[in-house]
Structure 1
Amino acid sequence: MNVSDEELLTDLFRTITLMRKSFDRAMTEQGASLAQTKVLMCIKAQSGHARAVDIAEVMGIAPRTATESLDGLERDGLIQRIPDKEDRRVKRLTLTPAGEAAVAVSEPLRRQLMAKVLAILSPSERQHFHAALQKLMEGLADG
């Protein structure tokens, strides 16, 4: 059976949307949404050196979107903005104890959800899927 380009890409986008919704629902019930967990992990990885602009760059989002996300995390008590010692205009981001706790719960759950989704595919299907995704990414990176 031949699959049209439209059908293939529609199925890919639909799959990604279903995964995000499923992950987000389960993770939110545990304390931090998928998006919040990703931002918290970025902040944690930069161990107190992250700035809003760094988060925007790593996440591939607009600085304004990063700022709005950070505002929400700060309101929820998951992060703190601390003035930089060398440049008072700069705010460094750190996780609060509540933020650390949210990551401690959400990140293992995210990994568990990923494993559950990928377990649907056989090892061979996973290899082929990975190869196809790599090829798509390489083609998109060139263009």
Structure 2
Amino acid sequence: MKSTIEVSDKLFELYHRVHRLVNESMRDQGVSLARSKFLFFLSKLGPCRSTDIAEALNFAPRTVTEAIDGLERDKLVLRKPDPEDRRAKIVSITEVGRVVMEAAEHPRKLLIEEIFSALSDEQLDQMHEIVSRLVAKADEIRKRKEDGTVAGETAAE
């Protein structure tokens, strides 16, 4: 039986390999995975402040500002003054940004499909259930930490 550390290490290995492959395939289409996160976010939620982006993506405000600077320079996003706060700017995706994002999304999906084709439908369902449980547990631990609840070691459920 594999230890939890061995399984965790294998999950991290998978994540890093898939991340690298996806990033390379998207970069070939003109946008890195990191930059595409901003474009996907703006495409999904619409125009918003950079502080909203930082909070939603859990990035430092300075990181978001630098990313938006680059995206704006490449004409992928547009900044306009916030009508409710003259100090703030509203960031929105441009039509060029949408085209680049959609072009990068296609190879990403193909790559993910190819990787996960190693699993049967039943295995995919099982993996989804297992990963969902792990995500829920991680969220529970994060909430405890944010609430300042001190907890000892938790037993496997």
Q: Fold match, TM over 0.5?
A: yes
The CA distance in 1 between the partners of 2:92 and 2:135, in whole Å, is 32
Aligned partner of 1:21 in structure 2 is 20
| Unaligned residue ranges in structure 2 (runs of 5+) | 142-157
Aligned partner of 2:9 in structure 1 is 10
Aligned partner of 1:54 in structure 2 is 52
The equivalences for 1:1-143 within 5 A come to 2-48=1-47, 50-143=48-141
Q: How far off its partner does 1:31 sit?
A: 1.1
SS in 1 for 2:87: coil
The number of aligned residues is: 141
Deviations 1:89-122 (A, max 9, x none): 1101112232122112112222222222221211
Q: In 1, are the aligned partners of 2:76 and 2:94 still within 8 Å (CA)? A: yes
The CA distance in 2 between the partners of 1:63 and 1:39, in whole Å, is 13
SS in 2 for 1:81: strand
The CA distance in 1 between the partners of 2:114 and 2:37, in whole Å, is 19
Q: How far off its partner does 1:46 sit?
A: 2.3
CA RMSD between the two structures: 1.5
2:89 aligned partner, one-letter code: K
The CA distance in 1 between the partners of 2:58 and 2:114, in whole Å, is 26
The CA distance in 1 between the partners of 2:14 and 2:46, in whole Å, is 33
Q: How far off its partner does 1:86 sit?
A: 2.9
The CA distance in 1 between the partners of 2:115 and 2:61, in whole Å, is 31
SS in 2 for 1:117: helix
> Which deviates more, 89-98 or 14-23?
89-98
> Which deviates more, 5-14 or 106-115?
106-115
Percent identity of the aligned residues?
A: 33
Q: How far off its partner does 1:15 sit?
A: 0.5
Larger Rg, first or second structure (1 or 2): 2
| Unaligned residue ranges in structure 1 (runs of 5+) | none
